[in-house]
A = this chain, B = another copy of it.
Amino acid sequence: MDFLDFSLDSILRLGKKNLGAPPGIENAADIDKPPEHGVVSICTIDYSLEGIEQQTHTDVEALLKSEKPDWATYRWIDIQGIHPYTVNRLKNHFNIHTLSAEDALNIPQRQKVEDYEGTLFIILRMLQITEGSLINEQVSFFYLGDVIITQQEKPGDVWEPVRERINREGSRLRQYGTPYLLYALIDAIIDNIFPILDTYFDLIDALEQEILLEPIKGTQMRIHNIKRDLAYLRQALWPMRDITSELYKNDIELLPKKVIPYYRDVHDHSLQAIEAVEMYLENAKGLQDLLMNANSNRMNEVMKALTIMASLFMPITFFAGLYGMNFEHIPELGWKYSYPIFLSVCALTTGFLLFYFKRKGWIGK
Contacts and interface: CB of A to CB of B under 8 A. Distances in A.
A61 B296 CA distance: 64
A197 B300 contact: no
A80 B82 CA distance: 41
A295 B298 contact: no
Contact of A334 (B197, B221, B328): B328
A348 interface: no
A363 interface: no
A110 interface: yes
B231 A279 contact: yes
Contact of A19 (B15, B191, B322): B191
B220 A289 contact: yes
B328 A276 contact: no
Contacts of A336: 329
Interface of A: 12-15, 17, 19-24, 97, 99, 103, 109-110, 112, 114, 116, 158-162, 165, 168, 171-172, 187-188, 191-192, 194-195, 197-199, 201, 208, 212, 214, 217, 220-221, 223-224, 227-228, 231-232, 235, 261-262, 264-265, 268, 271-273, 275-276, 278-279, 282-283, 286, 288-300, 302-307, 309-318, 320-339, 342, 361-362
Given A310-B310, A318-B320, A326-B326, 17 more contacts: A20-B159, A20-B161, A114-B261, A220-B294, A223-B289, A235-B279, A291-B293, A292-B293, A295-B297, A298-B300, A303-B303, A303-B306, A303-B307, A305-B307, A313-B318, A316-B318, A317-B318
A268 B112 contact: yes
Contact of A221 (B212, B283, B296, B317): B212
A316 B296 CA distance: 31
A194 B14 CA distance: 6
Nearest to A165: B22
B327 A323 contact: yes
Contact of A191 (B20, B114, B160, B337): B20
Nearest to A265: B99
Contact of A326 (B23, B275, B310, B324): B324
A99 B321 CA distance: 86
Nearest to A338: B327
B172 A24 contact: yes
Contacts of A223: 289
B286 A161 contact: no
Contact of A307 (B165, B283, B309): B309
Contacts of A114: 261, 264
Contacts of A322: 320
B314 A361 contact: no
Given A300-B302, A318-B317, A286 B342 contact: no
Contacts of A199: 15
